[in-house]
Amino acid sequence: MSTHQSNALRKVSAVTGPPAPEGGLAPGTRIHHYELIRELGRGGMGTVFLARDTRLGRRVAIKFLHTQDADLTRRFILEARATARCSHENIVIIYEVGEYNGDPFMVLEYLQGQPLKKLVTGQRLPPARAVELMVPVVRALACAHEQGIVHRDLKPENILVTDSGAIKVLDFGIAKVLQGDEVPEAAATGTFVGQLADEDSRDLTRRGAILGTMAYMSPEQWGNGVPIDHRTDIWAVGIMLFRMLSGQHPLGSVSGPQLAVTGLLDEPMPRLRDVLPDAPPELAAVVDRCLLKHKEQRFPDALSLLRALEPFLPGRYTRELRIDESPYAGLSSFQEADANRFFGRTREIAALVNRIHDQPLLAVVGPSGTGKSSFVRAGLVPVLKRSGTPWESLVIRPGRHPLAALASMVAPLVSSSSSIEEDIQEQRKLVEHLRAEPGFVGNVLRSRARRERRNILLFIDQFEELYTLVPDARERLAFTACLSGIADDATSPIRVVLSIRSDFLDRVPEDERFMAELSQGLYFLTPPSREGLRDALVQPAEMAGYRFETPAMVDKMLEHLESTQGALPLLQFAATQLWESRDPAHKQLTERAYEAMGGIAGALASHADSVLAGMTNTERTLVRALFLRLVTPERTRALVSADELRELTKDTGEMQRLIDHLVQARLLVVQTGGGATGATVEIVHESLLHSWPTLRRWLDEGQEDAGFLEQLRNAARQWQAKNFDNNLLWRGEMVEEARRFQGRYRGELPKLQRDFLDAVFAQAVRATRMKRALVIGTTTFLAMLVVAAAVALVVIHNSQQEAERQAEAALRAEAVARKAETTAREAETLARNAETEAKQRLAEVQAKELERLREQQAKEKAMEQVELTNNALLNKNGELESALKRAKELQKRARLAWLRAQKSAEEAYQAQRQLEESLRREQERAARAEQQIGVIIKELD
């Protein structure tokens, strides 16, 4: 029960004195297992609170009556008990009746929505829409009347259209339990507890008067002595239908006490066609019969009235079909032109119509197969156009280029070009304009709406394509920014409705602003109920004048559909197959035909397989490639251009013939584009993805290829868009994956994708060649380094050997020096001996002197030999230094060998130094020996 509901439950103070105290009612108060949350509404006689049922965890509405009047309390309890006895989907549910601090209360279901008065005031409704709103009310009355309960205050304020689309009859507050046809005496003088939403006291009866609301009171309620029974409610239905169809009360502007003329039985009510000449005669007759002042001339009961109204529900009439025309849509989505054969969604349509008045941006969310597109196209749009308010509908699909799709819709509204080429140029400029100024589309549509004095509904069908077909996040954000600029305010004449699969809803927060606005308008479309499926199955056949052979056949189909994903398209397809096998003689859809096609489960698969069975192996291969291309990696339908599909094989004519054949077989659908776009192809319905085993097998087998093909398509398109820039070609691991794909893939690829792969492979070959050349060059360079190192090693080795030879020469020189030293020592010894024996052997001095001279000469020769050896060693040392310089030049290429050579050179140098030191010491000794010999000679002289 909502605030609107609480308004309908408010009571006008019609008793003497102020209302009784409220007994401490306030938010947080506990009454049994109920806790008050907040006050919803208040009237002179009572208060309605929103409360929570702490036991069952649900919200409820609790209506309290504040009065000391025992009769009023009795009637309150009577209302609760009477309503509780009427268990019906169109009557508000009463959960409990009780008493708190002396005040009676009843606990009702909590409903959110709007009163019927708000939806219909100030406009004329199309006949089908008016009947559509009133039939649930009549069904509720039929249930109440069977319990002997009359509402007696039926009016638009007491009828609530909930947010979910249900219609609920409220406030049986002045209903009475009938005892035959007699009116209890209290009824003539009972307390009035009804009210009008506007609290207009002129239309309210007072204490002691007849019960009811003046504008809707039947003649017998005006106190003409005629007993009141259930037919007084039929009168109220007639008044409401009259007002909805004509836009005014049958008595025109008459109001207040002047309405008492209604009670004059001799004054007939105006007929509907007198006020509305174009009203359908049969429907006008039904309304006029409801308003006959003699109640026995009206419909005898609500059930009879219901049977009279049902034929005027949307699509509920028999019409002649064209040759080969089916009342069912098959696997194709319903379009606006199919509104007269779209059934089973009345409640959901009413719910969305209620929300669209206050919400500029709405999303119809649901799983695949719930009929989201059909719901908007054939359900919502026709109802809006029948509402009496001018509406224009525009439909687009995002596709691969959502901004281009939006531009193609806007272009005719702003373009002044006269040729196709100019249109294409204008559209391209418009796309860039939309990217730069996302508010432009909204300005154009609002200007058109105000100029044409109509509302505009923009329907974005298959919104999930924005995420399955558009890889560029900037393109997606630009598109959602445009939609935000269109649906920017509830006072605008523009409404945007989009349909999206529920499993893609988590992608929408990519644009935070768009998601914030969209979250307020999410409408979750669930699979239809069993009754909705029954209506969708049975009523199109009845419209065409046919019926199902047996009720059991319908039940069998419904049982299968209730447990099947994508029930609606399967229903439509199976029904279409049944229709094609119908029995025109008996106007029946037969059970034998149903069994022959394999029931619901086998109808679609057997049809698709039968189409394949009539093809050659080559054709089946092409069909497989075709269907795989028409499914995204996420296993949703892909919208693909016919040109791209024709590129799947070199024989484009053969592919076009296959496409035409599959379209005729109702497995594919082709949409002709305009401007810069060409014809596009897609699978007729997503139910094929779930219900056709052959296609599921193809998808499972090609699961790995599906992701790669999508990458290939995106990469090829980007390559083409960037004028075939080689920087966008694949490299590295992607090249290897492409080679593996090429090795296992047996299908045909479009030319653009083949060219892309060819360019990738050609670039890879060039890269391989360059790599090979680089390897060869590097190898040659390294070989040269090795040769240079070898040469350096040889030079270093020769230098080492030369150093070793020089070291040996130094050693030999050192040995000579040592021998010379020994000789010198011997000479010294001889000299000493000669000095000792000089005095004794004077005679021998000359001989000894001669011997000494000879030894001196030998010494001089030895010294000369040492000097020559030293000079040779110095020359060799110069040559060694030159070799070391050459070795240093090769040091960078063979440092290790150079280090070894350097070590050897250093060792040779040390040997030389030692040799020089030895020679120096020998020279010093020779000098000292010479000095000593000189002294001896002087002494001898």
Alpha-carbon distance 893 to 208, whole Å?
Answer: 125
Beta bridge partners of 137: none
Task: Give the pairing of strands 94-100 and 149-150.
Answer: unpaired
Is 63 a known ligand-binding residue? yes
Contacts 24+ apart (CB under 8 A), 85-90: 85/147, 85/149, 86/140, 86/143, 86/144, 86/147, 86/149, 86/172, 87/143, 88/139, 88/140, 88/143, 88/144, 89/166, 90/136, 90/137, 90/139, 90/140, 90/143, 90/166, 90/167, 90/168, 90/169
**Token reading at 94:** 């009463």
Alpha-carbon distance 48 to 596, whole Å?
Answer: 59
Alpha-carbon distance 630 to 624, whole Å?
Answer: 10
**With DSSP H G I counted as helix, E B as strand and the rest as coil, what are the percentages for the chain, rounded to 5?**
60, 10, 30
Stated as kind and residue range, the H or E segment containing 37 is strand 34-42
Q: At what angle do helices 693-701 and 617-629 cross, to 10 degrees?
A: 70
Asked if 435 contacts 427 with a C-beta cutoff of 8 angstroms, the reply is: no
Compute CA 565 distance to the chain's CA centroid, rounded to the nearest angstrom.
20
Task: Give the pairing of strands 547-548 and 588-589.
Answer: parallel
- Catalytic residue status for 153: yes
Alpha-carbon distance 898 to 792, whole Å?
Answer: 8
Q: Residue 692 CB: number of other CB atoms within 10 A?
A: 22
Catalytic residue among 153, 229, 338, 423: 153
Residue with tokens 């990469």: 715
**Token reading at 729:** 């070609």
Q: Residue 709 CB: number of other CB atoms within 10 A?
A: 19
Asked if 216 contacts 225 with a C-beta cutoff of 8 angstroms, the reply is: no
Distances from the Cα of 769 to the Cαs of 635, 732, 780, in angstroms?
A: 41, 15, 16
**Token reading at 844:** 């021998």
3-state secondary structure 160-219: EEECCCCEEECCCCCCEECECCECCHHHHHCCCCCCCCCCCHHHECCCCCCCCEHHHCCH
Angle at the Cα of 643 from the Cα atoms of 641 and 648, rounded to 5 degrees: 105
Beta bridge partners of 522: 363
Alpha-carbon distance 927 to 860, whole Å?
Answer: 12
Alpha-carbon distance 152 to 503, whole Å?
Answer: 48
Amino acid at 621: T
**Token reading at 79:** 């209302």
Alpha helices in 366-419 (DSSP H): 372-374, 381-385, 402-414
Compute CA 727 distance to the chain's CA centroid, rounded to the nearest angstrom.
31
Alpha-carbon distance 42 to 9, whole Å?
Answer: 9
Stated as kind and residue range, the H or E segment containing 589 is strand 588-589
Asked if 213 contacts 194 with a C-beta cutoff of 8 angstroms, the reply is: yes
Residue numbering of the annotated binding site:
63
Give the residue numbers of the binding site for ATP. 63
Active site residues per annotation: 153
